[in-house]
Amino acid sequence: MTTYNQRIFGAKPYLFFSIVLLLKSCLAYFVIFGNGFSLTPLITEIPAAWLLFCLIEWFAAKRKLMYYMIVNLLLTAIFFAAIMYYKYYGVIVTYHALEQVNQVTAVSNSVFSLLDPYFLFIFTDIIVLAIYYYSKHRKLRDNSTSLISGPGRSRRSIVAFVFFLSFVICLSNVWPNRASMNELKKASEMGILNYEAYTILKKDEQPPVAVEEITQDRINELKGIVQPANPAYFGAAKGKNLVIIQLESFQNFLINLKIDGQEVTPVLNKLVKENMYFPNFYQNVGQGNTSDAEFVVNTSFYVPPIGASTMIYADKKVPSLPKLLKTQGYDSATFHTNVVEFWNRGELYKAVGFDKYYDRGFFGDEDKIFFGSSDEVLYKKTAGKLEEMQKSGTPFYSHVISMTAHHPFSTPPEKDHIKLPERYQDTFVGDYIRAQSYTDYALGKFIDDLKAKGIWDNSLVVLYGDHLGLPVYSLDKDDKELLHEIYGHEYSYTEMINIPLIVSVPGQQPQVFEQMGGQVDILPTVANLLGVPMGGQIHFGQDLLNQTQNVLPQRYYLPSGTVQNNESLLIPGDGYKDGTQYGLSGRKDASPVTEKQYNNMLKLLNLSDSYLRQQPLHSADGK
């Protein structure tokens, strides 16, 4: 019998929703994998949808259309989440991202800024069908047709055959690609839906290494370094305060950048000329972004394979910089204008052992931008508190987290300290540069304040960017052209993760250090300058003032297994052999990451994760 459902679909719901989901999966593949128009999803995505459709045909005696619509909504949400997550992080979303839901609401402006209007076409059918189902033809919702008309036994046999065939195809997509290191390639070959199911069902494949087997000698051997007997600069800042300043989304290309003759960051340009500057310095963050940078800098451990450090490790007693300096009589405090609950920082600060933290309760909402007081308020109130700490006569360590230049870089016009030419107006790159010019201005006021209060000359001051601000996968054509103008070559992954490191040591001559380093190296470098032996404290970074060779992992903004050495960055395929090498700073003659370096870095990542997961809970003894 012909039904209204058949008239509106022109076919059975099974066929209609198959075509709809094929179009949606093609859109997801176009955005994420850059395949252009491809029928690959017909093999990778549609069989996964058919498995669910067959279940509807088997078990739903009534309201089949409603169940088809629910499945369609669920799978659409997965495709849409995959698109949006990729645009921000450059990786495929998994169920682990549900831990971030409360963070997403706080950064909704960032999410919406990544939304190209054509992405919303993915919801067109849902809106139309919802109106149809719940208004004009609601009374007919129990009459949805089956996949196959005819006798029940024959229909069930055909459904069973389609289910079995779909299952075999899905299994053939998943099974050969399980070992692939690169999540993007894995999702492309498996299919996004199959990949999501795989991440839920798979078990951890790498057993943890026993704590007693994780030694500093083993770590150094895998890194290929030897600790010098008499390290250079040891104790150059002994007894000084330590002030570490983390700059939100600050990339290295901003240093010494001029646009039509205007300096973007005059304060930082002056700093790099007068102090120690490390231009070949890189982020080491993961899913936790800014909070991961805080974690890595304060622990010299790597971020976890899945999830944010503040979610995975924050309940542990973690070896850290505040604890190391506590043995030398230092007090410690961290300053951040957001609420301490954001990214579970309250537990993070317990884990790493900060004596005090100052969050929104201290800074208030004065001159609020985005989700906290402006950098000017942060620095002004922090300087006052540091003056109090210095007057106590006890050396201190303060970690100061700037935040105003946060994605999507929508600082108000009154905060502008640079006038950009027309070609930069209303572009993502232009907004980013405007926000960072304000960062530089506010930082200059802070430095002036510290100098006036006698803190600057009595402190070792370290400045670095927390993570990238301009993801390659978030840029449109105009943005890419502007970055090509700035760099003189195509903007790529190696430029994306390059952040600055500046170290101010009282009495030391300015110098540019070309050796490659990352945030994980800050702790041992600072410890050397302060003359504090690392002793038996496990750490995965190295003192940049006494080592010239380095190997670093990258996680989350690039696929798992991404490794860089002094000259190149490797993004793996299934593994090392089919990986792609990128010369740092656009170099064409760069020495590649070797297979030994790649394998050793995978071992180091497992050692870091194994060690932290087996540490006792900090709540066990109330500390």
Which tens digits make up the pLDDT trace of 343-397? Answer: 888 899 999 999 999 999 999 999 998 888 999 999 999 999 999 999 999 999 9
Domain span including residue 295: 211-613
Task: Give, in order, the Cα–Cα distances in Å from 572 to each of 175, 217, 266, 593, 598.
Answer: 19, 28, 39, 11, 9
From 481, 486, 494, 496, select the one nearest 587 (Cα to Cα). Answer: 494
| Residue recorded with tokens 């090509």 | 484
Model confidence at 165: pLDDT above 50: yes
Structure tokens at 269: 């340009």
Regarding whether 464 and 602 lie in a shared domain, the answer is yes
pLDDT of residue 152: 58
Model confidence at 29: pLDDT above 70: yes
Regarding whether 264 and 245 lie in a shared domain, the answer is yes
User: d(Cα 227, Cα 140) in Å, to the nearest integer?
Assistant: 77
Domain end position, chosen among 175, 201, 227 = 201
Peptide bond into 176 cis (omega under 30): no
Regarding whether 547 and 406 lie in a shared domain, the answer is yes
| Beta pairing, strands 372-373 & 459-465 | unpaired
User: d(Cα 590, Cα 95) in Å, to the nearest integer?
Assistant: 38
Contact 405, 436 (CB under 8 A): yes
Regarding whether 285 and 187 lie in a shared domain, the answer is no
User: d(Cα 512, Cα 582) in Å, to the nearest integer?
Assistant: 23
Regarding whether 391 and 466 lie in a shared domain, the answer is yes
Model confidence at 494: pLDDT above 90: yes
pLDDT of residue 4: 46
Model confidence at 493: pLDDT above 90: yes
Query: What is 544-573 written as a DSSP string?
Result: TTT-----EEE-SSS-TTEEE-SSEEEE-S
Structure tokens at 123: 């919801």
Contact 354, 294 (CB under 8 A): no
Q: How many other C-beta atoms lie within 10 A of the C-beta of residue 214?
A: 17
Q: pLDDT digits over 82-105, tens only?
A: 988 888 888 888 877 776 655 555
3-state secondary structure of 10: coil
Residue 620 lies inside a defined structural domain of this protein: no
Q: pLDDT digits over 243-282, tens only?
A: 999 999 999 999 999 999 999 999 999 999 999 999 999 9
pLDDT of residue 220: 96
pLDDT of residue 461: 98
pTM here is 0.90
Domain end position, chosen among 147, 180, 201 = 201
φ/ψ region of 163 (left if φ > 0, alpha if ψ in -120 to 50, else beta) reads alpha
Model confidence at 141: pLDDT above 60: no
From 614, 617, 609, select the one nearest 301 (Cα to Cα). Answer: 609
Find the mean pLDDT for residues 602-611.
96
Regarding whether 273 and 156 lie in a shared domain, the answer is no
Find the mean pLDDT for residues 15-35.
89
Residue 621 lies inside a defined structural domain of this protein: no
Regarding whether 282 and 152 lie in a shared domain, the answer is no
| Backbone dihedral angles phi then psi of residue 576, each to the nearest 5 degrees | -70, -45
* CATH number of residue 555's parent domain: 3.40.720.10
Regarding whether 492 and 444 lie in a shared domain, the answer is yes
In this prediction, residue 8 has a pLDDT band, given cuts at 50, 70 and 90, of very low
Regarding whether 389 and 248 lie in a shared domain, the answer is yes
Across 104-108, 125-129, 559-563, least confident range: 104-108
List helix spans (H) across 461-592.
Answer: 477-487, 493-496, 522-530
Regarding whether 448 and 578 lie in a shared domain, the answer is yes
Strand partners, 575: none
pLDDT of residue 255: 98
Model confidence at 445: pLDDT above 70: yes
In this prediction, residue 5 has a pLDDT band, given cuts at 50, 70 and 90, of very low
Domain end position, chosen among 201, 227, 248 = 201
Contact 363, 377 (CB under 8 A): yes
Find the mean pLDDT for residues 394-414.
94
List helix spans (H) across 353-492.
Answer: 360-363, 375-391, 428-452, 477-487
φ/ψ region of 460 (left if φ > 0, alpha if ψ in -120 to 50, else beta) reads beta
Which DSSP category does 576 fall into? Answer: S
pLDDT of residue 620: 56
User: What is the count of structural domains for the chain?
Assistant: 2
Residue 516 lies inside a defined structural domain of this protein: yes
Find the mean pLDDT for residues 62-68.
85
From 81, 83, 84, 85, select the one nearest 73 (Cα to Cα). Answer: 81
Max intra-chain CA distance, the chain: 91
Model confidence at 517: pLDDT above 90: yes
pLDDT of residue 149: 47
Structure tokens at 254: 């901003």
In this prediction, residue 528 has a pLDDT band, given cuts at 50, 70 and 90, of very high
In this prediction, residue 46 has a pLDDT band, given cuts at 50, 70 and 90, of very high
Residue 622 lies inside a defined structural domain of this protein: no
Structure tokens at 511: 């110098």
pLDDT of residue 536: 85
3-state secondary structure of 193: helix
Residue 206 lies inside a defined structural domain of this protein: no
Residue 122 lies inside a defined structural domain of this protein: yes
pLDDT of residue 100: 63
pLDDT of residue 122: 82
341 or 109: which leads in pLDDT: 341
Residue 268 lies inside a defined structural domain of this protein: yes
Model confidence at 567: pLDDT above 70: yes
Structure tokens at 282: 């890189």
Model confidence at 2: pLDDT above 50: no
Model confidence at 284: pLDDT above 90: yes
pLDDT of residue 621: 56
Regarding whether 511 and 461 lie in a shared domain, the answer is yes
Across 96-100, 198-202, 284-288, 306-310, least confident range: 96-100
User: d(Cα 243, Cα 397) in Å, to the nearest integer?
Assistant: 6
pLDDT of residue 231: 95
Contact 460, 526 (CB under 8 A): yes
Regarding whether 218 and 172 lie in a shared domain, the answer is no
Contact 149, 169 (CB under 8 A): no
Q: pLDDT digits over 585-600, tens only?
A: 777 889 999 999 999 9
Average pLDDT, the chain: 89
Model confidence at 487: pLDDT above 90: yes
344 or 75: which leads in pLDDT: 75
Structure tokens at 7: 């008239």
Find all residues with CB under 8 Å of 396, minimum gap 6, and list them: 241, 242, 330, 331, 332, 333, 386, 389, 390
3-state secondary structure of 399: strand
Residue 619 lies inside a defined structural domain of this protein: no
Across 143-157, 288-302, 588-602, least confident range: 143-157
Find all residues with CB under 8 Å of 250, minimum gap 6, and list them: 405, 436, 439, 464, 465, 466, 469, 499, 500
Model confidence at 458: pLDDT above 50: yes
| Beta pairing, strands 552-554 & 562-564 | antiparallel
